[in-house]
Amino acid sequence: MAALACSQGAPPSNPGGGPAGHVTVVGNNEAGPGGFTQPPHTTTPRAFAGVTATPLPTLPVLGSPTPDATRIAVPGHESQGYTVKAGDTLGAIAGRFGVSVDDLKIANGLNSDAIEVGQPLTIPPSSLPVASAYKIIPDSELVNGPTLVGFDTEAAAAKFGGYLARYVETDRDGVTRTGPQIVQVVAERYSVSPRLLLALIENQSGWVTLKYPPENTLTFPLGRVEPGREGLIRQLSWAANQLNAGFYGWREDKLGVLDFGDGSLMVFAPGVNAGTVGVQYFFARLYSGGGWRKQVAPGGLDLTYATLFGSPFGYRFDPLRPPDLTQPALDWPWDHNSLWYFTGGPHGGWDSGSAWAALDFGPPEGVNGCDDTDEWVTAAADGPIVRAGEGAVIQDLDGDGAEQTGWTLFYMHIATRDRVAVGAMLRKGDRIGHPSCEGGFSNGTHLHFVRKYNGEWIAADGGIPFNIAGWTLQSAGVEYDGWLRQGDVQLEACDCRGDINAIVLAPP
C-alpha cells in the first residue's frame, strides 16, 4: 500500500543530481563560500557571551515563567504491560517508554528485534539518566502561531545589523533569497517560529548580530556539518525539521528518549513541555554530554533568545489547542463529478519531522507521472487565501487573514497555471488550481491535503481525526497507510486506481 512518492522539505543530499546551489553574499564586497573574497572578520563573542543588543519589544510575562506540564514523562519505576500495535518496532516502543532496546529484549526474552501485532510485552523500569527539567520555551514559541502575527523577520534582522541581513543565497532550484527571506520561507514551510529560528542562528553562528561571524560558520551556520547541507536554507530546513520531530514526537506520545547518536540515551524529565523537548531534540542532533547540557541549561539558548527578543515566555499563548477543539465541516476538495482516488494515508505535513498531518489524493485516470491536467482542486470550506506560491496554497478558515491563527487548510502541489491568487475569498467548491508535482518532491500529480490549527500541524489520525464530508480517517500505524471510513464502507490508501480507493461522489 505504498503511496506516490511525496515529501515536502529539502532532501539531505540533492538526489535529483542537479547543482547543489551557489551561495553568495552581496554588500561591501563581503561574501560567503564560493570563491569570493572574505574580509578579515572579528572574533567578537556572540550575543549570549556578552555582546549588548537591545531586544525587540516583547510582551509582559504573565503567570508562571514556565507553562503547565503537557503530560508526565512516560518512564515508570515499575514494570508495565504493552500490546504490540500495527506499525510498532522494538526501537519505537523502547523510545516511547524511555527504556533501552537491550533492556526491552532482556525483559521479554527476545533474541531479535522481530515482534508481531498483538504480541504482549513487558516494559521494564527505565534505567536511563534523566534529561534536564529546565523549560526553555513555551509551546507557542516553537510553532509559527498566534503570537507571530505581524512579526517582521526582515525588520528584526535589519535592526541587529549582522551578517544575516546582507546574506544572499541562490538555491539548487535557481531561486535567490536574502537571509531574512530564507528564515521566513522556512518558518512558513515548517510552521516553526521565525523568532526561534533567528535565535538558533545567532546561538550557533552569531549571524544575527555579528557583521563578520567566525569563518567556520559560513558554510554550515547551524552547525550540521554534512555534505548536501551547505548554505542557510538547507541548514535551517534541517534545524526546523528536528524541532518539529521533537515537538510532535513528544506531543503525540511517540518520543520518550533522547538518542545522541553516540550510543548514549536519556529520558525526558517529568513535566517538560513539547516546545522544550523540540529544542532539546535539536541540540541532541549536534551535541552530547556537556556540550548538550550547556545549550539546554540556563545561560544556553535561553540567554541568546532573551538577548534578542526578551523572555520567550512573554510570547506565551496557552493552550495552543483547546481541549474541546473540533474540526470544522470539510467537503471533498474537487468537483463531485470527477472520480478521484485516495492514494496516501497519514504522512508528514511538511518533511519528516512534522505530525502525520497529510493525506494524498490522485486525480482521475489518464494522468500519469507528472502529467499536466485540467482537473481542478476546489476549496473544501469557506475562507480567504492567505498564501500561494511554490506549489502551496493556504486557506484561512476563521477569516482573519492570518495563517498563524485558527484553522487553516494547506493544499500542496498546486500548479502555477490558473492557481488562485492571495486575497481571493473562496466559498466551498470554488476553484483553487490544478494538481501537479510542483513544490516539495513528488513523482506523480496529486493533491497533498493538510490541516493546521494555531500554527500546529494536526495529525490526520490523532485526537481530531481528519473528517471529509463524513468520511473519517483511521491510520494503519504505518506512514502512508490507512483507511477513510463512513459507516460500513471504507476506502484504503493505495498508490493505484481501483475499487479499493476510488472516491465516488454524488453530483452536488
> Under 8 Å CB-to-CB from 225, ≥6 apart: which residues?
none
pLDDT tens per residue across span 83-134? 988 878 888 888 777 787 888 888 898 888 999 988 999 988 877 889 999 9
Name the residue with cell 482542486.
377
48 assigned to some structural domain: no
- Number of structural domains (the chain) is 3
pLDDT tens per residue across span 448-505? 999 999 999 999 998 999 999 999 999 998 999 999 999 999 999 999 999 999 999 8
Q: In the numeric block, which cell numbers belong to residue 186? A: 522556512
CA dist., res. 9 & res. 429, Å (int): 29
pLDDT for 65 beyond 80: no
CB-CB contact of 237 with 247 (8 Å):
no
User: Are residue 174 and residue 298 in the same domain, yes or no?
Assistant: yes
pLDDT for 508 beyond 90: no
Percent of the chain past pLDDT 70, that is, above it, reads 85
Confidence of residue 173 (pLDDT cuts 50, 70, 90): confident
Q: In the numeric block, which cell numbers belong to residue 301? A: 539558548
pLDDT tens per residue across span 313-355? 999 999 999 999 999 999 999 999 999 999 999 999 999 999 9
Burial group, residue 499, by CB count within 10 angstroms (0-12, 13-18, 19+) = exposed
CA-based end-to-end distance of the chain: 31
For residue 244, the surrounding DSSP H or E stretch is helix 232-251
Name the residue with cell 486575497.
423
34 assigned to some structural domain: yes
Task: Give the domain-ending residue among 280, 315, 350.
Answer: 315
Give residue 99's pLDDT.
Answer: 81
Respond yes or no on whether the N-terminal peptide bond of residue 227 is cis (omega within 30° of 0): no
The alpha-carbon radius of gyration of the chain (Å, integer) is 23
478 assigned to some structural domain: yes
Relative orientation angle of helices 301-309 and 194-205, to the nearest 10 degrees: 120
73 assigned to some structural domain: no
Name the residue with cell 542557510.
232
Q: Which domain holds residue 489?
A: 340-503
> Which 3 state secondary structure label does DSSP give 257?
strand
User: Are residue 209 and residue 289 in the same domain, yes or no?
Assistant: yes
Relative orientation angle of helices 274-284 and 232-251, to the nearest 10 degrees: 130
Question: For residues 289, 290, 293 and 295, what is the CA-based torsion angle, rounded to 10 degrees?
Answer: -120
Q: In the numeric block, which cell numbers belong to residue 184? A: 521566513
pLDDT tens per residue across span 35-63? 222 333 333 334 333 344 666 555 454 44
User: Are residue 347 and residue 465 in the same domain, yes or no?
Assistant: yes
User: Are residue 271 and residue 192 in the same domain, yes or no?
Assistant: yes
Relative orientation angle of helices 194-205 and 179-190, to the nearest 10 degrees: 130
User: Are residue 216 and residue 295 in the same domain, yes or no?
Assistant: yes
User: Are residue 348 and residue 293 in the same domain, yes or no?
Assistant: no
14 assigned to some structural domain: no
User: Are residue 365 and residue 271 in the same domain, yes or no?
Assistant: no
Mean pLDDT of the chain: 86
Q: In the numeric block, which cell numbers belong to residue 157? A: 534582522
Q: In the numeric block, which cell numbers belong to residue 22? A: 551557489
Task: Give the domain-ending residue among 300, 315, 330.
Answer: 315
Better pLDDT: 76 or 293: 293
User: Are residue 218 and residue 263 in the same domain, yes or no?
Assistant: yes
CA dist., res. 194 & res. 141, Å (int): 9
User: Are residue 207 and residue 244 in the same domain, yes or no?
Assistant: yes
User: Are residue 287 and residue 375 in the same domain, yes or no?
Assistant: no
117 assigned to some structural domain: yes
CA dist., res. 335 & res. 361, Å (int): 13
> Which 3 state secondary structure label does DSSP give 491?
strand
163 assigned to some structural domain: yes
User: Are residue 110 and residue 154 in the same domain, yes or no?
Assistant: no
CB-CB contact of 442 with 414 (8 Å):
no
* Residue 200 CA from chain centroid, whole number: 16
Q: In the numeric block, which cell numbers belong to residue 55? A: 531586544
Give residue 303's pLDDT.
Answer: 95
Instruction: Count CB atoms within 10 A of the CB of residue 318.
Output: 15
Query: DSSP string spanning 302-354?
Result: HHHHHHHHS-GGGG--S-SS-TT--PPP---SB-TTS-EEEEEEEE-SSTTTS
> Which 3 state secondary structure label does DSSP give 432?
strand
Query: DSSP string spanning 358-370?
Result: EEEEE--TT--TT
* AA letter at 341: Y
Output the domain CATH number for residue 106. Answer: 3.10.350.10
Give residue 74's pLDDT.
Answer: 46
pLDDT tens per residue across span 265-281? 998 988 899 999 999 99
330 assigned to some structural domain: no
CB-CB contact of 491 with 471 (8 Å):
yes
Integer CA distances (angstroms), 416 to 181, 370, 393, 434, 437, in order: 21, 14, 10, 8, 11
User: Are residue 140 and residue 95 in the same domain, yes or no?
Assistant: no
